[in-house]
Amino acid sequence: MPPTTKIIRKQVVEAAFSIVRDQGLDALSARSVADQLHCSTAPVYSQFHNMEALRFAVAHKILALMEEYDTAEYTDRTFLNMGIGTVLFARDYPHLFRAIHLDTSQFNDLITEYLGRLVDMMRREKRFSDLLGTARADLLEKMWIYTHGMATLVTTGYFHDVTRESITRSLEEVGGIVIAAALEKHANGA
């Protein structure tokens, strides 16, 4: 009899992540992970007591990858980079974007926490450094609505020009208006 191979937690998460990346969140099950790992479902459940715990581990991995996109330096503007990164992430990983943002609301707390980190990152940009955290959060929320909408259209194939240049132009046009209004509101003490 061949020696048994110990399946570790990281392998289960990697297999689950790969399933969601390639097929979407609905394809994730203990059986699909076991099939990917060429084992029974026992190692999956020995590492994760239930599928919800595994889904959350995958969600953390998705957000870590999304953060890599959102913190990359596409331009010299931190806030614009966040938007570009989100849309590029949706373009490159439509199933992952849908899994974390569209297919379920169970990750809302993780998303809220993630958005809080983005609000903090906005301080890196000089023009936002004097804004109170609530004003930065309000600005991020307004642009998040537009950016998330664009990213959703990308994942559904409706938005066809998905070059970085086109995404940047679109975000700059709308963002310029939204940012100017937020900065004017701040300057007027509102």
pLDDT tens for residues 137-157? 999 999 999 999 999 999 998
C-alpha distances (whole Å) from 120 to each of 39, 42, 79, 116 are 43, 42, 11, 6
CB-count exposure of residue 75 (10 Å: 0-12, 13-18, 19+): middle
Which residues, at least 6 apart from 70, have a Cβ–Cβ distance to it below 8 Å? 81, 82, 85, 86, 89, 118
Task: Give the model's pLDDT for residue 36.
Answer: 95
Tell me which of 33 and 188 has the higher pLDDT: 33
* Cβ proximity of 32 and 20 under 8 Å: no
Average pLDDT, the chain: 92
Q: How confident is the model at residue 1 (pLDDT cuts 50, 70, 90)?
A: very low
Domains of the chain: 9-187 (1.10.357.10)
| Nearest residue to 89 (alpha-carbon basis) of 143, 28, 167, 15 | 167
pLDDT in tens, 76-115: 999 999 999 999 999 999 999 999 999 888 899 999 999 9
- Do 102 and 152 contact (CB within 8 A), yes or no? yes
